[in-house]
C-alpha cells in the first residue's frame, strides 16, 4: 500500500484491476483484520453519491478479491474483514521498523536507529494508496504521508547527530523545496548549511521560510525555527555539536 496498491505472490504480481476493487482491498487492509462497515466502504468508493445498488456492488468487489488471489474476506456484521493469514504488508513492516528505530534512538544507538529508520522508509514505493479512489486517498493518504515525513525527519536528525551534514544537504534542500511550510525540515536545512560553513545560506533559508509563513498562513515561525535562527546569529558552538539538532516528536 505504500505506493501503488498491489498484491504479490511468489515473486509475481497478481492483477487486481480497477480502482474500486483496489479501494475495497486497501480499506480492509488498513483496518488490520477489524470489520469495516459497508457504509464506510461505500463512502470510500463513491463519497456522498452512492448508487442505489451500492451494497450489491460492494459484495461484487469483495467477490473479485476472493477470486483474484484467494483472499479470505469474512462477512462480519455490519461489514467485512480481511484475514491476513500470515501475509506480509508493507505498512506493517514500515511500522515495525520505525518502532525499532525509535527504540534504538531512545537507547542511544544512533547509527543503528538511522539504519532501521532508513529501512522503514525504503518500504515506500511512491505516494501511498496509488490507484484507489480519490475518496479513500483523501481520508487515509495524508495520515500515511505525515507518518512518513515524521520518520524521515527523525532519521535526518540522527544523521546530523552522527556528523553526516554534508550528505544530508542535497536531501534537505529537495525536501524544503517540496515542503516549504514544514518547519522541521527547514530548521534542519539551516543547521546543515551552518555546519557546512554556509551561514549566509542558513540565514537565507530562515528568511525565505518566515516570508512564506507570514504570507500564506499569517503566522510567525515557531519556537524551534526561531531558536536555530538565534543560535546561528550568535554563532552558538552547540549548533555544531548536535545538541541543537531538531528531534521531531515520534508518531
The domain spans of the chain are: 7-83, 165-251
Q: Residue with C-alpha cell 484467494?
A: 70
d(CA 160, CA 162): 5
What local confidence, expressed as pLDDT, does residue 164 receive? 94
What local confidence, expressed as pLDDT, does residue 248 receive? 56
- The answer to whether 28 and 21 have CB atoms below 8 angstroms apart is no
What local confidence, expressed as pLDDT, does residue 128 receive? 97
pTM (predicted TM-score): 0.91
What local confidence, expressed as pLDDT, does residue 244 receive? 45
- The answer to whether 15 and 68 have CB atoms below 8 angstroms apart is yes
What local confidence, expressed as pLDDT, does residue 127 receive? 95
Backbone dihedral region of 33: left (phi > 0), alpha (psi from -120 to 50 degrees) or beta? left
CATH 1.10.357.10 assigned to 7-83 = no
Does residue 18 carry a pLDDT above 90? yes
Quickly count helices (H) and strands (E) in the chain.
11, 5
d(CA 102, CA 108): 10
- Residue 165 in grid coordinates: 551534514
Q: Residue with C-alpha cell 504488508?
A: 89
pLDDT digits 0-9 by tens, 151-181: 999 999 999 999 999 999 999 999 999 999 9
pLDDT digits 0-9 by tens, 19-78: 999 999 999 999 999 999 999 999 999 999 999 999 999 999 999 999 998 889 999 889
What local confidence, expressed as pLDDT, does residue 242 receive? 62
Share of the chain above pLDDT 90, in %: 89
- The answer to whether 240 and 228 have CB atoms below 8 angstroms apart is no
CATH topology of domain 165-251: 1.25.40
What local confidence, expressed as pLDDT, does residue 25 receive? 97
For residues 59 and 250, the model is more confident at 59
Amino acid at each position: 500500500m505504500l505506493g501503488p496498491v498491489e498484491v504479490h505472490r511468489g515473486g509475481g504480481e497478481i492483477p487486481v484491476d480497477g480502482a474500486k476493487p483496489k479501494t475495497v482491498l486497501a480499506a480492509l487492509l488498513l483496518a488490520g483484520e477489524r470489520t469495516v462497515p459497508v457504509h464506510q466502504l461505500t463512502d470510500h468508493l463513491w463519497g456522498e453519491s452512492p448508487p442505489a445498488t451500492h451494497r450489491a456492488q460492494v459484495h461484487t468487489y469483495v467477490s473479485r478479491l476472493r477470486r483474484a488471489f484467494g483472499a479470505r474476506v469474512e462477512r462480519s456484521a455490519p461489514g467485512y474483514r480481511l484475514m491476513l493469514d500470515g501475509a506480509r504488508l508493507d505498512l506493517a513492516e514500515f511500522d515495525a521498523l520505525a518502532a525499532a528505530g525509535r527504540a534504538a534512538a531512545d537507547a542511544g544507538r544512533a547509527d543503528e536507529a538511522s539504519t532501521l529508520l532508513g529501512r522503514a522508509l525504503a518500504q515506500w514505493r511512491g505516494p501511498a494508496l496509488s490507484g484507489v479512489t480519490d475518496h479513500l486517498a483523501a481520508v487515509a493518504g495524508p495520515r500515511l504521508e505525515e507518518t512518513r515525513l515524521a520518520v524521515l525527519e527523525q532519521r535526518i536528525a540522527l544523521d546530523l547527530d552522527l556528523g553526516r551534514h554534508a550528505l544530508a544537504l542535497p536531501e534537505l534542500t529537495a525536501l524544503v523545496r517540496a515542503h516549504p511550510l514544514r518547519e522541521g525540515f527547514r530548521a534542519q536545512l539551516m543547521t546543515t548549511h551552518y555546519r557546512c560553513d554556509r551561514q549566509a545560506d542558513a540565514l537565507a533559508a530562515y528568511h525565505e521560510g518566515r516570508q512564506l509563513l507570514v504570507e500564506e498562513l499569517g503566522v510567525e515561525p515557531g519556537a524551534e525555527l526561531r531558536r536555530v535562527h538565534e543560535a546561528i546569529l550568535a554563532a552558538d558552538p552547540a549548533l555544531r555539536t548536535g545538541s541543537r539538532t531538531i528531534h521531531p516528536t515520534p508518531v
